[in-house]
A and B are shown apart, each in its own frame.
Chain A
Amino acid sequence: MTASAEPDSPPAGAMVPRPFLLRRRRRETSDTWTLTLEPLGGDGIEPLPGQFMMLYAFGVGEIPVSVSGATDGLLTHTVRSVGAVSGAICAAKAGAVLGVRGPFGTTWPLAEATGGDVVVVAGGVGLAPLRTAVQCLERTRAAYGEVTLLYGGRTPGDLLFRRELDQLHRRGKLGLDVTVDTAQHGWAGRVGVVPKLISTARFDPASAVALVCGPEVMMRFTVAALLQRGVAPERIHLSMERNMQCAVGHCGHCQLGPTLVCRDGPVYRYDQLAPLLEVREL
């Protein structure tokens, strides 16, 4: 994070969307879809865990969307339909063409976390930007101590990547604890908020790095629980969301105090972010 709002020059062509073909579309929940995109000409894009892309529904508009997967030159995004642009992107059928810019932003500190425990805390669609980090942690499992994913959603029907989570649990390489805010009779899992899981989760607070993404209020409560457990503020990392428009630090829409979320985020260290989170107007 830098203290200056004066942006560096963006890379050439960073404002020009590249055409990508929508190869597959899979429904995750009642309002959330996972899209697989293939570049129409040119090289594939290899974003790092935590980065985001700008997705353009031609004639409708452009929004920032975190990367939920990237393999063999294909990009995967998990998008919740909450407005005109995300609605158009979610409604696009296989064979449609979307505009793509990026990758942009900072990454989850997976290299920094090696040798210690990692606790990943996700709320709702906040699991999407953490998915590539979780996949990376599982692939390089031997480099870490305890690795635990704590995931919370509104109801069982709102949980993302259910089959993947089941497989993750069965493989047993990562600890997994899932909770929902409310459930009908028949749900065999936990009911309660995700920060509640932190007090009993398996990790050593002295060595653990925490990766957190979800609604900002949920992250605030999660950070409080992590601090209470003894995790140092500089070992807690949050993915922030603001109104990102240009994604290259020019327009200033995503300003958060002296920082620009598109350029200095979306992943921030909590000790650097904490003073900004205390300012309600930001």
Chain B
Amino acid sequence: MKTVTELLGEARFFDGLRAETIELVSGCASNVQFDSGTPIFREGEHADSFYLLRHGSVALETYVPARGAVMIETIEAGDVLGWSWLFPPYRWHFDARALTAVRATAFDGKCLRGKCAADPALGYELVSRFAQTLIERLQWTRLRLLDVYGHDGER
């Protein structure tokens, strides 16, 4: 069985990171599993971790009165789940629920924030990678705002 450090070394999110940095980060990581349908976190709860999905998919949801739970986005294997651990007030903004059986690496947010504060180079690396993920999701969200499949009418 692979160690957490080995698994992180294979992860797309950590591509190009030096081995000693991965070793440092893996000190805050552990492997976790969620059965299909299991809540991973709930909106408003304390955000103390993030997840790197290795297998399965997760739905980000929010509850809309009279509509029920609305799926905002799905997060797939290879993607990171959760960035609320990085910024105050450290509260989840949405619900996350395992859509399938999920295997992931969970990172202790407080532990990682401590290591980033002690090692600004590590902090810069991690924040840069999260920023890239944030930008990609922001661009896709902007595309969805256009509602491109709506009616244009005959021209």
**B140–A82 CB distance below 8 A:** no
Asked if A83 lies at the interface with its beta carbon under 8 angstroms from chain B, I say: yes
In the assembled complex, B67 has its CB within 8 A of some CB on chain A: yes
- Knowing A83-B154, A84-B154 touch, does A191 contact B69 (C-beta < 8 A)? no
Whether the pair B67, A193 counts as a contact (CB closer than 8 A) is no
List of B residues within 8 angstroms of A243 by Cβ: 155
B73 at the interface (CB under 8 A from A): yes
Measured CB to CB, the closest approach of chain B to A156, in angstroms, equals: 10
Pair A218/B148 contact, Cβ less than 8 Å: yes
Instruction: Kindly supply a per-residue 1/0 record for chain A positions 6-22, scoring 1 wherever the CB is within 8 Å of any chain B CB and 0 otherwise.
Output: 00000000000000000
Whether B148 and A214, one on each chain, are in contact in the complex, defined by CB atoms closer than 8 angstroms, is: yes
A222 to B100, CA, bound (A): 27
User: Measured between alpha carbons, how far is A85 from B153 in the docked complex, in Å?
Assistant: 10
Q: Are B57 and A190 in contact (CB under 8 A)?
A: yes
In this assembly, does A202 line the interface, its C-beta being within 8 Å of a C-beta of chain B? no
Using CB atoms, name the residue of chain A closest to B155: A243
Contacting pair A181 B74 (CB below 8 A): no
> Is B148 a contact of A215 with CB atoms below 8 Å?
yes
Q: Check B148–A123 contact: CB distance below 8 A.
A: yes
A residues in contact with B147, CB < 8 Å: 154, 181
* Residues in A neighbouring B118, C-beta threshold 8 A: none
Q: Please determine whether B149 and A191 come into contact, CB atoms closer than 8 angstroms.
A: no
A184 and B154 contact, CB distance less than 8 A? no
* In the complex with contacts A86-B154, A193-B143, A200-B76, A183-B148 CB distance below 8 A: no
For the complex of A and B, the 5 pairs showing the least CB-CB separation, nearest first, are A83-B154, A185-B69, A215-B148, A154-B149, A124-B149
Beyond A184-B70, A243-B155, 10 additional contacts (C-beta under 8 Å) are A153-B149, A154-B147, A182-B144, A184-B69, A185-B59, A188-B100, A189-B74, A191-B73, A192-B140, A242-B155
- 16 of the cross-chain contacts (CB-CB < 8 Å) are A82-B151, A82-B153, A83-B153, A83-B154, A84-B154, A124-B148, A154-B150, A179-B74, A181-B149, A188-B99, A190-B57, A190-B76, A191-B72, A192-B140, A218-B143, A218-B148
